[in-house]
A = this chain, B = another copy of it.
């Protein structure tokens, strides 16, 4: 037996079907909430929950005192930046097969820039984790991660420390990274990490400086990720905030 889904989600899916099906034309007004609630045999609030979801997804526009209108479908955009993904899954979603990646792990004293972001003591011990990812034998990503030793606590274990860092943190330390504040920039050609990726004349490189947070917004991990722009595309869906 399949688990039954909440009825507001059921209603939402039905509405999506009707829209995709052309039962409701783009730009047209839906029947009033009261009518629709009766039609679906749910209460008005339940129907409204469904509409709220659709509104969040940009599939309908609700105008107070006027009505609810169908908007045209937006194409789904690939690996959108506002979603947080691991570099590994980015590589896979670009249709590449991750090749050899060289790593180095050292313990270094915390520099001022990182200590401010990670809110830990300057000079305290920080694990610095560097790696190059390759695809088809060519380097495509260079990343440097800074992880205060204190957040790992007793869990630090040099041996398991590879693969997806986010997975490592979750399974070994019980820390879930769910958010990151990312500054996106273009490194100079003279940047030594950038240079490791400048293989072809048509290559450009994007640098993501990312501060990763756990569920309750504690800063956990600071990283520099250099990504080749001829290999990866960066999309954002931007919305007007009222």
Contact = CB atoms under 8 A, between A and B. Distances in A.
A147 to B, nearest CB: 18
B179 A234 contact: no
A217 B58 contact: yes
A96 interface: no
A141 interface: no
Interface in A159-198: 177-188
A104 interface: no
B240 A72 contact: no
A71 B217 CA distance: 6
Contacts of A215: 61, 71
A177 B185 CA distance: 26
A185 B234 contact: yes
Interface stretch (A8-16, A33-41, A106-114, A200-208): A200-208
B61 A235 contact: no
Contacts of A236: 81-82, 181-182, 184, 236
Interface string A45-65: 000000000000010010000
B187 A218 contact: no
How many A residues are at the interface, by size bracket? Answer: 35 or more
B182 A235 contact: yes
A237 interface: yes
Contacts of A233: 183, 185
Contact of A186 (B69, B205, B238): B205
A221 to B, nearest CB: 13
Given A215-B61, A217-B73, A184 B84 contact: no
Contacts of A180: 237-238
Given A71-B216, A179-B237, A183-B233, 14 more contacts: A26-B216, A58-B217, A72-B218, A73-B217, A81-B238, A82-B82, A82-B236, A83-B240, A178-B240, A180-B237, A184-B234, A185-B204, A186-B205, A186-B229
